[in-house]
């Protein structure tokens, strides 16, 4: 399968469509999921093209996992969470919908189930959650 340079996350990387960004470094970008399953649900992506885990380079994977750990720690702090769920899907049969490698990071609380998928989030709430994560990263 080839990489499609016009996938939604490639457009977000190029700044062609808006996103609520919370962190970036030379190799990775982090922004809020627009359909959050829980408050604070974010996505970690490499800045360079790859479709998913199956075609990613070791360099892309190590950068993305390092940032995923950083964000997992940040959401634990920002949301006073008791745990973190990390999800990653590969190809349509594997549940992937956007074909640029990404890891989902979801802060979790005991007894709280994630919301159903596919529901647009409230953009003001997402902005507030992003600010909490940025503050946790700085603190
Ligand atoms: P997956 O490919 O891992 O199954 O799901 C893609 C994820 O990207 C979903 O959680 C979905 O809510 C999120 N998503 C889809 N389109 C956009 C978008 O335009 N902006 C943002 N921030 N997230 C998106």
**pTM reported for the whole predicted model:** 0.98
Residue 139 has pLDDT above 90, yes or no: no
Instruction: Convert the pLDDT of each residue in 6-34 to its tens digit.
Output: 999 999 999 999 999 999 999 999 999 99
Dihedral sign, CA of 107, 31, 95, 60?
A: negative
Question: Whose CA is closest to 35, among 116, 124, 134, 131?
Answer: 116
Tokens of 26: 């030379």
As annotated, the active-site residues are 102
Instruction: Convert the pLDDT of each residue in 43-77 to its tens digit.
Output: 999 999 999 999 999 999 999 999 999 999 999 99
How many residues are recorded in the chain? 139
Residue 130 has pLDDT above 90, yes or no: yes
pLDDT of residue 44: 99
CB 103 within 8 A of CB 43: yes
Q: How far is the CA of 34 from the centre of ligand 1 (A)?
A: 6
Nearest-atom number in ligand 1 for the CA of 36 is: 12
Q: Ligand 1 pocket test: which of 34, 53, 90, 103 has the largest number of ligand atoms within 8 Å of its C-beta? A: 34
pLDDT of residue 59: 98
- The mean pLDDT value of the chain amounts to 98
Question: Whose CA is closest to 96, among 5, 6, 8?
Answer: 8
Rounded Cα distance, 79 and 76, in Å? 6
Report which protein residue has its CA nearest ligand 1's atom 19.
8
pLDDT of residue 67: 99
pLDDT of residue 3: 98
| Beta-bridge mates of residue 44 | 30, 103
pLDDT of residue 138: 97
Residue 1 has pLDDT above 90, yes or no: no
């Amino acid at each position: 399968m080839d990489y499609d340079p016009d996938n939604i996350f490639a457009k977000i990387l190029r700044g062609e469509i808006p996103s609520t960004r919370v962190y970036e470094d030379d190799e990775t970008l982090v922004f809020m999921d627009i359909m959050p399953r829980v408050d604070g649900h974010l996505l970690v992506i490499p800045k360079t093209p790859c479709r998913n885990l199956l075609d990613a380079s070791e360099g892309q994977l190590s950068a993305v996992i390092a940032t995923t750990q950083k964000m997992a720690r940040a959401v634990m702090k920002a949301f006073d969470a008791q745990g973190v769920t990390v999800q990653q899907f590969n190809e349509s049969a594997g549940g992937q919908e956007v074909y640029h490698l990404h890891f989902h990071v979801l802060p979790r609380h005991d007894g709280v189930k994630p919301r159903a998928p596919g529901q647009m989030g409230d953009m003001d709430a997402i902005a507030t959650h992003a600010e909490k994560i940025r503050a946790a990263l700085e603190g």
